[in-house]
C-alpha cells in the first residue's frame, strides 16, 4: 500500500497562502489569495547566483510578503512541496535507512547517502522545513501552520490542473521527491488519483544527472545541454 | 539545440545502458544502484566509480576543450541518455 500523499485538503480561498520552495536547487517563494498569485520570486534573482544552490529563499519570501502588503503573521498557511509530516515524523529517514539495508552498502556509502544523496534527509531537515530562519530574519513572532501534500503530488497537481483537460494522465519523472522518483496520475475533474509509483533508488532523473556530470556538466543545470533531440 | 541531437544511435551504448537500466517489460524498470548510489564517489557525488568503469573512460572534465575526442564522446552518450528509457 502506498504511503504517498494523494490529495490536499480544501482551504478557505480568501486567506493568504505563502509557498516556500526549499530545495538543493532553485529555492523560491510565492504568495496566493483567492486562487490568484500575488507575487512569485526565485531566490537567484536576489542573490545573483544561478540556481542559488542550498540557499534558503529568505529574500524571495520577503519580496512576496511585501508585495502582498503583509508580514508572516498575516499568512494563513505556509505550503511546501514536500511531505512535511513524513519528514518531521521520521518516515522519510526510515525509508532511506531501509533502502540502504536492501543493498550491500559500506559505511562510507551510507554516510554519503544520508548526507548527499538525499541531502534533505539529515536530522536538520525538519528545521529546514520550518522557516525558523525566516522567523528570525523577518522579525516575526510566530510561524503559520506548515502544510505539504508531498512532492510527487505537487508536480502532478501543477501538470494536471494547468492543462486544459478535465480528463488526463499526468506523468511525473523526477530526480527524487520525498521517497518517490516516478508517478502516474489520473485527473478526472477535481480528483487526482495515483495510478502507478516508482520509489527510490530507481530514478531516471538521478541517472540523467549522473551522466550529465560524467560528461563534464553540472547536474541540476547542465541537463538541458545534453538533452533536446 | 542540445548535444543529443548531434548523436547517432549506438548499439554498444544500448548494451552498456541495459546493465544500468534493468527492464523486464515495456512498463517496469529498475536501476542498478551501484552506478549512482553504492560505491566510492571519487569523481562526483552524482555517480560512483562504477559508472566510468562501465563506460570505459574517465569522466569528462568540466570545460574540456573540444577537438580532443571529448565532443565525439559527449554526442552519442547524450543521444543515448535522451532516448531513456527505451532500450
pLDDT at A119: 44
Chain B neighbors of A226, CB-CB under 8 A: 2-4, 74, 77-78, 81-82
Mean pLDDT for the stretch of residues B26-50: 86
**More confident position, A9 or B28:** B28
pLDDT at B52: 95
Give residue for cell 504517498.
Answer: A4
Query: Please, which pLDDT band fits residue A108 given cuts at 50, 70 and 90?
Result: low
Interface check B23 vs A, CB under 8 A: no
Nearest Cα residue to A154 out of A16, A14, A21 = A21
Considering chain A, what percentage of its residues have pLDDT values greater than 90?
39
Q: Of B38, B53, B60, B85, which to mutate for an interface test with A (greatest number of A Cβ within 10 Å)?
A: B38
Selecting from A104, A117, A214 the residue whose C-beta is nearest the C-beta of B60 gives A214
Query: Please, which pLDDT band fits residue B49 given cuts at 50, 70 and 90?
Result: very high
pLDDT at A116: 46
3-state helix, strand, coil in chain B (%, to 5): 40, 5, 50
Query: Please, which pLDDT band fits residue A117 given cuts at 50, 70 and 90?
Result: very low
pLDDT at A169: 97
Interface of B with A in 64-83 (CB under 8 A): 64, 70, 74, 77-79, 81-83
pLDDT at B55: 93
For chain A, first and last CA: distance in Å? Answer: 38
**More confident position, B51 or A6:** B51
Cβ–Cβ below 8 Å for A225 and B2: yes
pLDDT at A127: 46
Tell me the pLDDT of chain A averaged across its residues.
Answer: 82
Residue pLDDT, tens place only, A52-98: 887 889 899 999 999 999 988 899 999 988 888 887 778 887 887 78
CB-based contact A80:A144 (threshold 8 Å): no
CB-based contact A208:A200 (threshold 8 Å): no
pLDDT at A107: 63
Query: Please, which pLDDT band fits residue A122 given cuts at 50, 70 and 90?
Result: very low
Chain B neighbors of A109, CB-CB under 8 A: 37-40
Selecting from A116, A202, A208 the residue whose C-beta is nearest the C-beta of B29 gives A202
pLDDT at A118: 46
Distance between A166 CA and the closest CA of chain B, angstroms: 25
Query: Any idea which of A69-83, A104-118, B57-71 has the lowest mean pLDDT?
Result: A104-118
pLDDT at B82: 81
Q: Of B78, B80, B85, which to mutate for an interface test with A (greatest number of A Cβ within 10 Å)?
A: B78
Chain A neighbors of B60, CB-CB under 8 A: 214-216
CB-based contact B54:B77 (threshold 8 Å): no
pLDDT at A40: 97
Q: Of A98, A109, A210, A222, which to mutate for an interface test with B (greatest number of B Cβ within 10 Å)?
A: A210
Query: Please, which pLDDT band fits residue A170 given cuts at 50, 70 and 90?
Result: very high
Collapse the DSSP code of A192 into the 3-class scheme (helix H, G, I; strand E, B; otherwise coil) and give the result.
strand
Selecting from B5, B40, B85 the residue whose C-beta is nearest the C-beta of A204 gives B85
Mean pLDDT for the stretch of residues A155-161: 94
Distance between B56 CA and the closest CA of chain A, angstroms: 12
**More confident position, A144 or A23:** A144
Answer whether residue B24 shows pLDDT above 60. yes
Nearest Cα residue to A144 out of A48, A36, A28, A65 = A65
Whether the model pTM is above 0.80 = yes
pLDDT at B79: 85
Interface check B50 vs A, CB under 8 A: no
Task: Give me the half-sphere count of Cα atoms (radius 13 Å) on the Cβ side of residue B71.
Answer: 10
Answer whether residue B69 shows pLDDT above 70. no
Q: Of B1, B4, B37, B57, which to mutate for an interface test with A (greatest number of A Cβ within 10 Å)?
A: B37
Cβ–Cβ below 8 Å for B62 and A112: no
Mean pLDDT for the stretch of residues B19-46: 85
Selecting from A113, A214, A217 the residue whose C-beta is nearest the C-beta of B47 gives A214
pLDDT at A124: 43
**How many other CB atoms sit within 10 Å of the CB of residue B35?**
25
Amino acid at each position: 500500500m502506498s504511503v504517498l500523499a494523494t490529495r490536499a485538503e480544501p482551504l478557505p480561498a480568501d486567506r493568504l497562502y505563502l509557498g516556500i520552495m526549499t530545495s538543493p536547487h532553485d529555492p523560491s517563494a510565492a504568495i496566493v489569495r483567492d486562487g490568484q498569485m500575488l507575487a512569485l520570486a526565485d531566490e537567484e534573482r536576489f542573490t545573483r547566483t544561478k540556481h542559488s544552490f542550498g540557499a534558503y529563499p529568505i529574500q524571495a519570501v520577503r519580496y512576496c510578503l511585501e508585495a502582498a502588503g503583509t508580514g508572516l503573521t498575516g499568512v494563513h498557511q505556509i505550503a511546501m512541496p514536500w511531505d512535511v509530516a513524513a519528514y518531521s515524523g521520521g518516515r522519510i529517514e526510515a525509508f532511506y535507512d531501509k533502502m540502504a539495508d536492501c543493498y550491500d552498502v559500506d559505511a562510507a556509502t551510507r554516510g554519503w547517502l544520508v548526507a548527499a544523496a538525499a541531502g534533505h534527509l539529515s536530522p536538520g531537515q525538519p528545521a529546514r522545513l520550518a522557516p525558523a530562519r525566516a522567523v528570525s530574519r523577518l522579525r516575526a513572532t510566530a510561524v503559520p501552520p506548515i502544510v505539504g501534500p508531498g512532492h510527487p503530488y505537487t508536480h502532478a497537481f501543477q501538470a494536471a490542473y494547468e492543462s486544459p483537460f478535465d480528463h488526463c494522465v499526468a506523468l511525473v519523472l523526477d530526480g527524487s521527491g520525498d521517497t518517490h522518483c516516478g508517478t502516474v496520475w489520473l485527473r478526472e475533474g477535481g480528483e487526482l488519483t495515483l495510478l502507478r509509483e516508482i520509489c527510490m533508488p530507481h530514478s531516471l532523473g538521478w541517472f540523467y544527472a549522473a551522466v550529465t556530470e560524467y560528461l563534464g556538466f553540472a547536474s541540476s543545470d547542465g541537463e538541458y545541454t545534453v538533452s533536446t533531440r | 539545440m542540445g548535444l543529443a541531437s548531434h548523436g547517432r544511435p549506438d548499439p554498444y551504448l544500448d548494451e552498456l545502458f541495459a546493465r544500468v537500466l534493468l527492464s523486464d517489460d515495456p512498463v517496469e524498470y529498475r536501476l542498478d544502484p551501484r552506478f549512482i548510489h553504492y560505491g566510492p564517489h571519487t569523481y562526483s557525488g552524482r555517480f560512483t566509480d562504477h559508472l566510468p568503469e562501465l563506460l570505459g573512460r574517465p569522466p569528462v572534465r568540466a570545460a574540456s576543450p573540444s577537438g580532443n575526442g571529448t565532443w565525439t564522446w559527449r554526442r552519442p552518450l547524450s543521444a543515448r541518455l535522451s532516448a531513456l528509457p527505451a532500450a
